[in-house]
Amino acid sequence: MVASPSSPPPRLLIVEDDSETREYLVECLHGEGGYRVSGAGTLDEGMEYLRTLQPDMALIDLGLPDGSGLDLIRCASELNPEVQVLVISAFGDERSLIAALEAGARGYLLKSETPADVRLAVRQVREGGAPISPGIASHLLERFRPAEAPGPVDPSVRLTQRELEVLEFVVQGLSHQETADVLDIRRDTVAAHVKSIYRKLEVHSRGEATFQALRQGLVRVPKDDS
């Protein structure tokens, strides 16, 4: 999503308690997509910025000195359901990932990612993607990869063949437009399929859809031969 020349540049809020990391992220994302970047170091500061700045996107650390970043994610979603939250954290465990997605995060990155990876993840979230750090994704794939070849899709879900194709690209982190280009269909058709997938999987975000797709074996994940 790119702002039109006549519209103000989107606001991006970074909430990170370590000042060096916060400044590094601000510097890394300054000018990315025309964002106006602001930084906060605590949960209280983040809450205040959410109310006063009303950011379009927020990068939020989970481990804040005065509380959990999960509370900030929930607050962001309550204040503005359209705000796009990307977690950037030192915690790469499954429990933290699931909690962040359930709170409303649309992506999850580790702090060890390169500046290029962070910038790419921000672009993917803005375009409708659900980026997850490769290390976390690899862990999830190993956890949910069946010992044998995947069995038939759970009949209670009843996704159509086209929905399964779209879901596979959701898992890969493609945006609606990228999926439309690959499948040679309209972007609004992809959006309609994604909406139907959400309803059938009983999820509310691309991140949750990705998690459920892996957990239920709804997509065939190629084995890593490395």
pLDDT for res 126:
82
pLDDT of residue 98: 83
Structure pTM? 0.64
User: Are residues 76 and 157 located together in one domain of the fold?
Assistant: no
Q: Cβ(73)–Cβ(96) under 8 Å?
A: no
Q: What is the pLDDT of residues 190-209, one digit of tens each?
A: 989 998 998 888 877 676 77
The rounded distance, in Å, linking the Cα atoms of 42 and 46 is 6
Same domain? 15 vs 91: yes
Q: Write the pLDDT tens digit of every residue in 49-73.
A: 999 989 999 999 999 999 999 999 9
Q: Round to whole Å and give the CA distance between 174 and 108.
A: 15
Write out residues in the chain with pLDDT < 50, as ranges: 1-2, 4, 147-153, 222-226
Are 44 and 87 in a shared domain? yes
Q: Which domain holds residue 89?
A: 11-133
Coil, helix or strand at residue 195 = helix
- Alpha carbons 85 and 109: distance in angstroms, whole number: 11
Do 124 and 164 share a domain, yes or no?
A: no
106 and 152 together in one domain: no
- The CATH number assigned to the domain holding 105 equals 3.40.50.2300
Pairing status of strand 63-64 against strand 67-68: antiparallel
The count of domains in the chain is 2
